Structure 1
Amino acid sequence: MRKLISVLMTLLLMVLMVPSAFAEKNPSGPPKMEPAKYQIPSSVRSITKENTYPNSTQDLPYLQPSELTKKLINSSNVKIENPDLIRMLNESSINSTPFAVGYRAIVYLGQWALNYESSETSPNWEYQKINTNYYDNRGGNTPYRIKYVQESQKIVRGGLTSKITNAEEVKKMMLLKAMKKTNLPLSFDTVIGAGTKNDHFYNIPAKRLGYLYAYAPAISEKGKVTYGEVYLMLKGNRKFIVIKNVTSQGIGAWIPVQDYVSFGFVASERPR
């Protein structure tokens, strides 16, 4: 008799939890960006068309939660925004059955970075110097025009400002928030190809040395990430999520702006 009950319970568990392996992507695409809270300075110019290195657009997992996932997220006592956790929930289904009366199960889904709350998003237009164009016009009698030409390929990398658990998940959430707040093309890695040019010119007066500096801009993103242990609770036909051992940690990141360059020009009597 005990063996028969054990077999029946095993079959019931198999019926209740069946993987569906279908992640639903948002058919309407990424959420709309909010207007930037600041103006891009005139010294910052787009090189999207001129960049000799074709940066790929940052592919972020904009996922639309399934109906089941929405119900589970709404049942949680802590806000869930982690796209990787949402994807995992999307890839599972829990089927109801009339024989589930009195059934109870607790499934531990692991410790997750649940959400990221942004507190400060600010630009640094001169995050990293990437190039210097130079011309000596001290022997000239008329102004000399100088333009930006990238002398060598430059890789600009951002990253988190400190070590943190589930770093890749946290970076995704921070990137999503920063892109929405700035309406700028952001990526933790961007490349400016050798030979990249810009048509804007600068006049070096006669009897002067001219220096045209180029910088890669980046966004400073700061906020708080919340962690917790995620449990899926099954009680009869009820399904809900419980978060335990919730902790929070402050975190910051530098996120480069793709295909934008900030310029600074100096005319000097002496070498710099």
Structure 2
Amino acid sequence: MKRLRVWVIVSVLLVGLPYLADEALATQKENTPVEKKGNTPAVSKTVVPPSVLNIAKENTYPNSTQDLPFLQPSEFAQSLIDTSKIKIENPELIHLLNESAVGKAPFSFGYRATIYLGHWALNYQSTETAPNWEYQKINTNFFDNRANLTPHPIHYVQEMQKIVRGGLTAKIPASPDVQKMMLIKAAEKTKLPLAFETIIGGATKKDQVYNIPARRLGYLNAFASAINEKGKVTYGEVYVILKGSKRSLLIKNITSQGIGAWIPVQDHLSFNFIASEQPR
């Protein structure tokens, strides 16, 4: 009888242990953080040097914020985009797909159609994003302190309104679409307010004081800052293929081209102070 009880207990343990092991493994998997595929580490914010100051509050010309978020595809647009092997990021193309709709006919057997949407800039891949804090000189404040025996304070005052423009470094097809995609990527990487045009209003001032030593000439130079963005844009002819109840995108004649751009940083100026014995 004892042998029978021992055999029963051993049998129960042998049957239950795998289940308990599987349950423990499943619990461990649930509690273990899962690395999501396709997620890349967040790019660190661009470090702004101490010589670069934000003049957004002091600027007498209010620059409008350039907000270009990535356009969210509709359910129909996303279903089409997922059928393409080529990544589609162009906000204008996504907007076109969002405004499109194809109904499902109850009797669509044998139905076929090919719709040509045109030649598009499909995506932009960034390879380099570098700041140039002294992109363009916009102002110089000067004072001659050679006749004085004590230091003289000087601060920044914009003498006249200045427009700072950026742009692509070469002429390419669909340049407005490419500019938008480059602006989005550069803004994501730098976390800076970027726009292809920014304005510094006349009489803009900054309280930061620079002291000109006695017997010296003082020059306070102000520079507009910009981001140099470089990468590759992919083009292709886009077709919508309708086959029965199925819908898909077909990309033909795919080409790639390297491109660069200068994108000014809004409301950020780099200051360079020079004290000299001789005029410069």
Question: Which TM-score tier does this pair reach, normalised by the shorter chain?
Answer: 0.7 to 0.9
- Kindly provide the CA deviation profile for residues 213-259 of structure 1, in whole angstroms up to 9, marking residues without a partner as x: 00000000000000000000000000000000000000000000000
Instruction: Tell whether 2:72 aligns with 1:64.
Output: yes
- Kindly provide the CA deviation profile for residues 123-158 of structure 1, in whole angstroms up to 9, marking residues without a partner as x: 000000000000000001110000000000000000
Instruction: Tell whether 2:217 aligns with 1:175.
Output: no
> Under a length normalisation based on structure 1, what TM-score does the superposition of the two structures give?
0.86
Aligned to 1:118, the other structure's residue is in SS state strand
Q: Could you say what the CA RMSD is over the residues aligned between the two structures, in angstroms?
A: 0.9
**What is the alpha-carbon distance in structure 2 between the residues aligned to residue 257 and residue 35 of structure 1?**
18
- Check whether the contact 2:63–2:199 (CA below 8 A) recurs between aligned residues: yes
Shift of 1:45: 0.3
**What is the alpha-carbon distance in structure 2 between the residues aligned to residue 36 and residue 265 of structure 1?**
29
Q: Which residue does 2:27 correspond to in 1?
A: none
Q: Which residue does 1:20 correspond to in 2?
A: none
**What is the alpha-carbon distance in structure 1 between the residues aligned to residue 214 and residue 159 of structure 2?**
25
Q: Which residue does 1:241 correspond to in 2?
A: 249
- Check whether the contact 1:218–1:257 (CA below 8 A) recurs between aligned residues: yes
**What is the alpha-carbon distance in structure 1 between the residues aligned to residue 274 and residue 262 of structure 2?**
27
Q: For 1:225, which of 230, 233, 236 is the aligned residue?
A: 233
Aligned to 2:63, the other structure's residue is in SS state coil
- Check whether the contact 1:114–1:228 (CA below 8 A) recurs between aligned residues: yes
* Structure with the larger helix share: 2
Shift of 1:61: 5.5
**Higher Cα Rg: structure 1 or 2?**
2
Q: Which runs of 5+ in 2 are unaligned?
A: 1-41
> Under a length normalisation based on structure 2, what TM-score does the superposition of the two structures give?
0.84
Aligned to 2:82, the other structure's residue is in SS state helix
Report the count of equivalent residues.
239
Shift of 1:36: 3.9
Aligned to 2:266, the other structure's residue is in SS state coil
Q: For 1:205, which of 213, 222, 230 is the aligned residue?
A: 213
Instruction: Tell whether 2:104 aligns with 1:81.
Output: no
- Check whether the contact 2:135–2:226 (CA below 8 A) recurs between aligned residues: yes
Q: Which runs of 5+ in 1 are unaligned?
A: 1-33
- Check whether the contact 1:135–1:146 (CA below 8 A) recurs between aligned residues: yes
Q: For 2:274, which of 246, 258, 266 is the aligned residue?
A: 266
**What is the alpha-carbon distance in structure 1 between the residues aligned to residue 129 and residue 43 of structure 2?**
13
**What is the alpha-carbon distance in structure 2 between the residues aligned to residue 255 and residue 79 of structure 1?**
24
- Check whether the contact 1:102–1:235 (CA below 8 A) recurs between aligned residues: yes
Matches within 5 A, 1:115-264: 115-264=123-272
**What is the alpha-carbon distance in structure 1 between the residues aligned to residue 96 and residue 67 of structure 2?**
18
**What is the alpha-carbon distance in structure 1 between the residues aligned to residue 259 and residue 83 of structure 2?**
27
Aligned to 1:71, the other structure's residue is in SS state helix
Shift of 1:60: 2.1
Aligned to 1:72, the other structure's residue is in SS state helix
- Check whether the contact 1:35–1:183 (CA below 8 A) recurs between aligned residues: no
- Kindly provide the CA deviation profile for residues 14-55 of structure 1, in whole angstroms up to 9, marking residues without a partner as x: xxxxxxxxxxxxxxxxxxxx5545310000000000000000
